[in-house]
Amino acid sequence: MIDLDQIKLEQINDFKAIQLITFVSQNNKFELNNEAAQFLSQLKGNIAFVVICGKYRTGKSFLLNKLIDVQNEGFQVSPSTNSCTQGIWLYTKPIINKQSNLQIYFLDTEGSESGVKSQTHDAKIFALAILMSSTFMFNSIGCIDEQSIIQLHLTTLLSKNIQVQDHDNNNNENILGYYTPKFIWLLRDFVLEMKDGQNRKITPKEYLELALHDDRQYQSENSKKVRKTLLTCFKDRNCFQFVRPVINENELQRVNQLSNNQLREEFQQQVTQFREYLLKNTSPKQLNGVNLNGRMFCKMIDTFISNFNKGKVPIISTAWEHIVETECQQGLAQAKQLYETNLKKYFGADEAKSFEEIFQILKKIRDESFQTFHYIAGIREKNNHFEEYKKKLLDFMTEKENLAIRLNDDMNNTKNEEVIAEVSQKLKENLDQETFTIDNLEVFFQHFNEFLTAYDKKSAGTEKANTLIHFLQNHHPIIVKQLVNSIVQKYSKNKNQAEEEKAVQQVKEKQLLDNIKILEQNIQQHETKIKKLDQDKVQLEAQKKQLSDQLSKLQTENKTIRDNIKDVDELQNVILQKNEEIQNLRKMITSLQTKKKKGCCG
Ligand SMILES: Nc1nc2c(ncn2[C@@H]2O[C@H](COP(=O)(O)OP(=O)(O)OP(=O)(O)O)[C@@H](O)[C@H]2O)c(=O)[nH]1
Ligand SMILES: [Mg+2]
């Protein structure tokens, strides 16, 4: 089996016929040609396939060349009696319906009944042709008669060579009708006038219908069976007639070398009309109601071929499952590729992104990838493989997202470290210089706020807070220590001052006490002196009294003396002397009194 995902897509510029399916007689196997698979896998948009089948040497390849409007570079046409076309061929140039943008490709098949290959082989080619067609053309020479109908006996083998489901084979032929293409019978060298039983002119389509519904008794069982199968399996039927392209037998042999204007005008017109019909009436190739792209078409053929090669009958439902799974795989692969490309595009630069930015980008590329996946894998909602591959994609994207966030965080962390080093410069300088004290806390907070604002503005990423916390954890001991130091310093300064003042006070108190003591001593001394003075006063007063007494006595004596008048002068001197003594004593008393007074007050 060809791994379609591994096929390298190349633009095929030159149009040519390429072999699509080869039959390798040595091992009795069909092969899907690599070049054709490569070509088909890159086809985008709506595509359709018109396939021709029929007896060998009946001008099939030649007619296709005329429909594509190519000559030598078209399908191979040989003048000999030997079977020419082998296997199934594809022409790389389509005819295009510009309105519906449908590319219609032509497939040429090897002629049946060549005698070289078995009927089983012919039936397989016929079955493959039916399975590949959007429009199936059966080519025969002359009118529709018993002989030409029997040529279509391969249709009766269809239900043996194509199975719709892998179970319930009873109704296979009827169900097959839903999977078969449009059927067109091409009548070559047809020169007769088409008329019904009542001799009325009829269209080729009516002619075909009459032939298929003809149930006259003389028909063979084989013929009846073919008619019945055609009516059951092909619901959409039509018929086209062509005159011989040239009249001259010699020219007919080299008909492929003739230019268009050398062909009969009627034949040219019929070709043109038929091409127009195909352009208008061919539908995109579908399976299960879904338009197939080139890759899906390729996968379908590949599955059918491998079934035949294994000796099995191709099962449409199995082929469909393979197609769906291949598309899911393809959807997953393309979505992953797009995701990786977008990741590189948005996260390729060394520049870290902000938290908000990264989430916006991741959402955008997640959506884009998912859309791609859905576009390819969602060929039918809720197909059997969709959810499984969707989960694979989601897991893949989640893993990549986590990685992207981690890488971005790493980038951010490095950047944030640089930012924090830059914006904390001023704060650090002040800390180093121990500028902050308990008395200028507002300055500290101002610096700190400036630092926080600048960091918040310049930093980025989910880990920005952690970087800040880490910084603060490292620096807060310094900040706290410095502030505590400043508090300690302030209070220790106040304490010293208070102690000094207290000491001075104590000295003063001591001095005061000492002074009081001295004063008390003085007072005591003075009191003692006063006491003494008092005693002296008493003594002196006693003395004074005594002296007064003496004076009185003396005065009395004086009087007596005077009376006695004895040595008055001497007595007078004594009196004078005594007066002097009295004067002295008075002075002493006065002085003592003064002293006492002072001692009381001092
Ligand atoms: N009578 C008749 N002969 C034709 C017509 N077109 C082509 N031929 C002749 O048939 C020969 C074979 O033509 P091809 O186009 O190769 O026929 P084929 O059906 O593709 O043959 P295989 O590939 O062998 O099956 C040509 O060389 C012509 O001589 C036609 O419309 N009528
Ligand atoms: Mg041919």
pLDDT tens for residues 100-132?
999 999 999 998 876 667 778 888 999 999 999
The confidence score (pLDDT) of residue 11 equals: 44
Q: Residue 6: pLDDT band by 50, 70, 90 thresholds? A: very low
What average pLDDT score do residues 89-102 get?
94
Q: Both tokens of residue 178?
A: 């839903």
Ligand 1, residue 189: give the atom nearest the CA: 32
The confidence score (pLDDT) of residue 201 equals: 92
Q: Which amino acid residue places its CA nearest to atom 9 of ligand 1?
A: 59
Q: How many helices (H) and strands (E) does the chain have?
A: 18, 11
The confidence score (pLDDT) of residue 9 equals: 36
Max CA pair span of the chain: 230
Q: Which residue has the tokens 């700190």?
A: 448
Exposure string of 320-335, with b = 16+ CB inside 10 Å and e = fewer, is bbbbbbbbbbbbbbbb
The confidence score (pLDDT) of residue 551 equals: 63
End-to-end CA gap in the chain: 137
Which ligand approaches the C-alpha of residue 122 most closely? 1
State in Å: Cα 73 to ligand 2 middle: 14
**Does position 56 have pLDDT exceeding 80, yes or no?**
yes
Q: Which amino acid residue places its CA nearest to atom 27 of ligand 1?
A: 79
Q: Which amino acid residue places its CA nearest to atom 6 of ligand 1?
A: 59
Question: Which residues have any ligand 1 atom within 6 Å of their CB?
Answer: 56-62, 77-79, 83-85, 110-111, 188-189, 244-245, 252-253, 255
The confidence score (pLDDT) of residue 560 equals: 67
State in Å: Cα 58 to ligand 1 middle: 4
**Does position 51 have pLDDT exceeding 90, yes or no?**
yes
| Mean pLDDT (the chain, rounded) | 84
| CA dist 512 → 263, 288, 481, 509 (Å) | 151, 122, 45, 5
Give yes or no for a contact between 435 and 396, defined as CB atoms under 8 angstroms apart.
no
What percent of the chain has pLDDT above 70?
87
Residue 55: φ, ψ to 5°: -60, 150
Q: How many Å separate Cα 284 from the centre of its chain?
A: 36
Q: Residue 548: pLDDT band by 50, 70, 90 thresholds? A: low
The confidence score (pLDDT) of residue 367 equals: 95
What average pLDDT score do residues 540-547 get?
68
Residue 142: Cβ-neighbour burial (10 angstroms; 0-12, 13-18, 19+): middle
What percent of the chain has pLDDT above 90?
38
Beta-ladder partners of 186: 139, 240
The confidence score (pLDDT) of residue 5 equals: 42
Q: Which amino acid residue places its CA nearest to atom 17 of ligand 1?
A: 59
State in Å: Cα 86 to ligand 2 middle: 8
Chain length of the chain: 602
Q: Which of 19-23, 230-234, 395-399, 428-432 has the lowest mean pLDDT?
A: 428-432
State in Å: Cα 285 to ligand 1 middle: 27
Residue 475: Cβ-neighbour burial (10 angstroms; 0-12, 13-18, 19+): middle
The Cα 152–Cα 234 span in angstroms is 13
State in Å: Cα 188 to ligand 2 middle: 14
Q: Which one of 51, 62, 106 would you pick to mutate in the ligand 1 pocket, going by the greatest count of ligand atoms within 8 A of its CB?
A: 62
Residues sharing a CB contact under 8 Å with residue 41, sequence separation 6 or more, in sequence order: 4, 7, 9, 294, 295, 298
Ligand 1, residue 139: give the atom nearest the CA: 19
Residue 516: φ, ψ to 5°: -60, -40
State in Å: Cα 305 to ligand 1 middle: 27
What average pLDDT score do residues 430-458 get?
81
Q: Which amino acid residue places its CA nearest to atom 7 of ligand 1?
A: 59
The Cα 276–Cα 187 span in angstroms is 17
What average pLDDT score do residues 339-344 get?
92
Q: Which amino acid residue places its CA nearest to atom 8 of ligand 1?
A: 59
Ligand 1, residue 57: give the atom nearest the CA: 21
The Cα 218–Cα 442 span in angstroms is 117
Work out whether strand 182-188 and strand 102-109 pair parallel, antiparallel, or are unpaired.
Answer: unpaired
Which ligand approaches the C-alpha of residue 80 most closely? 1
Q: Both tokens of residue 435?
A: 């500028």
Which ligand approaches the C-alpha of residue 112 most closely? 1
Which ligand approaches the C-alpha of residue 108 most closely? 2
The confidence score (pLDDT) of residue 398 equals: 93
State in Å: Cα 55 to ligand 2 middle: 10
Q: Which one of 248, 255, 262 would you pick to mutate in the ligand 1 pocket, going by the greatest count of ligand atoms within 8 A of its CB?
A: 255
Residues sharing a CB contact under 8 Å with residue 213, sequence separation 6 or more, in sequence order: 227, 231
Q: Which residue has the tokens 């692969």?
A: 333
Q: Residue 10: pLDDT band by 50, 70, 90 thresholds? A: very low
The confidence score (pLDDT) of residue 559 equals: 66
Q: How many Å separate Cα 134 from the centre of its chain?
A: 41
131-169 per-position pLDDT tens digit: 999 999 999 999 998 888 888 888 878 777 887 877 656
| CA dist 329 → 389, 392, 395, 476 (Å) | 7, 10, 15, 56
Which ligand approaches the C-alpha of residue 59 most closely? 1
The Cα angle at residue 86 between residues 85 and 87, in degrees rounded to 5: 125
Closest CA to 28 of 299, 319, 305, 316: 305
Q: Which residue has the tokens 């500290």?
A: 444
The confidence score (pLDDT) of residue 602 equals: 42
Which ligand approaches the C-alpha of residue 138 most closely? 1
State in Å: Cα 513 to ligand 2 middle: 144
Q: Which of 134-143, 512-521, 538-547 has the lowest mean pLDDT?
A: 538-547
State in Å: Cα 304 to ligand 1 middle: 29
Q: Residue 13: pLDDT band by 50, 70, 90 thresholds? A: low
DSSP assignment of 147-204: HHHHHGGGGGGHHHH-BSSSS--TTHHHHHTTT--EEEEEEET--SPPB-TT--B--H
Which ligand approaches the C-alpha of residue 258 most closely? 1
Ligand 1, residue 65: give the atom nearest the CA: 15
Ligand 1, residue 58: give the atom nearest the CA: 19
- HSE-up of 441 (CA within 13 Å, CB side)? 7
The Cα angle at residue 172 between residues 168 and 175, in degrees rounded to 5: 110
Residues sharing a CB contact under 8 Å with residue 5, sequence separation 6 or more, in sequence order: 329, 330, 333
Residues sharing a CB contact under 8 Å with residue 355, sequence separation 6 or more, in sequence order: 460, 461, 462, 464
Higher pLDDT, 271 or 531: 271
State in Å: Cα 76 to ligand 2 middle: 6
Ligand 1, residue 77: give the atom nearest the CA: 16
Q: Which amino acid residue places its CA nearest to atom 21 of ligand 1?
A: 57
The Cα 392–Cα 398 span in angstroms is 10
The Cα 288–Cα 153 span in angstroms is 26
The three-class DSSP label of residue 310 is coil
State in Å: Cα 256 to ligand 1 middle: 9
Q: What would you report as the CA-atom Rg of the chain, rounded to the nearest whole angstrom?
A: 66
Work out whether strand 286-287 and strand 182-188 pair parallel, antiparallel, or are unpaired.
Answer: unpaired
239-275 per-position pLDDT tens digit: 999 999 999 988 998 999 999 999 999 999 999 999 9
Q: Residue 194: pLDDT band by 50, 70, 90 thresholds? A: confident
Give yes or no for a contact between 72 and 158, defined as CB atoms under 8 angstroms apart.
no
State in Å: Cα 363 to ligand 2 middle: 55
Q: Residue 217: pLDDT band by 50, 70, 90 thresholds? A: low
The Cα 591–Cα 598 span in angstroms is 11
Torsional sign, CA 449, 455, 456, 458: positive
Q: Which amino acid residue places its CA nearest to atom 29 of ligand 1?
A: 253
What average pLDDT score do residues 477-498 get?
74
Give yes or no for a contact between 92 and 148, defined as CB atoms under 8 angstroms apart.
no
The Cα 120–Cα 126 span in angstroms is 10
Q: Residue 599: pLDDT band by 50, 70, 90 thresholds? A: low
The confidence score (pLDDT) of residue 12 equals: 45
166-187 per-position pLDDT tens digit: 765 666 667 777 788 999 999 9
Q: Which of 56-60, 179-183, 363-367, 457-461 has the lowest mean pLDDT?
A: 457-461
State in Å: Cα 99 to ligand 2 middle: 31
Q: Which amino acid residue places its CA nearest to atom 28 of ligand 1?
A: 253
Q: Both tokens of residue 279?
A: 């352009």
The three-class DSSP label of residue 100 is coil
The Cα 434–Cα 592 span in angstroms is 75
State in Å: Cα 220 to ligand 2 middle: 29
State in Å: Cα 63 to ligand 1 middle: 8
What average pLDDT score do residues 360-371 get?
94
According to DSSP, residue 5 is labeled G
**Does position 7 have pLDDT exceeding 60, yes or no?**
no
Higher pLDDT, 567 or 17: 17
H helices within 348-433, ranges in order?
355-377, 386-423, 425-432
Which ligand approaches the C-alpha of residue 65 most closely? 1
Give yes or no for a contact between 65 and 74, defined as CB atoms under 8 angstroms apart.
yes
Q: Which one of 252, 257, 258, 260 would you pick to mutate in the ligand 1 pocket, going by the greatest count of ligand atoms within 8 A of its CB?
A: 252
Closest CA to 185 of 361, 55, 330: 55
Beta-ladder partners of 585: none
Q: Which amino acid residue places its CA nearest to atom 13 of ligand 1?
A: 59
Q: Which one of 19, 57, 91 would you pick to mutate in the ligand 1 pocket, going by the greatest count of ligand atoms within 8 A of its CB?
A: 57
The Cα 451–Cα 484 span in angstroms is 21
Q: Both tokens of residue 73?
A: 């570079």
What average pLDDT score do residues 363-369 get?
94
**Does position 591 have pLDDT exceeding 70, yes or no?**
yes
What average pLDDT score do residues 315-337 get?
91
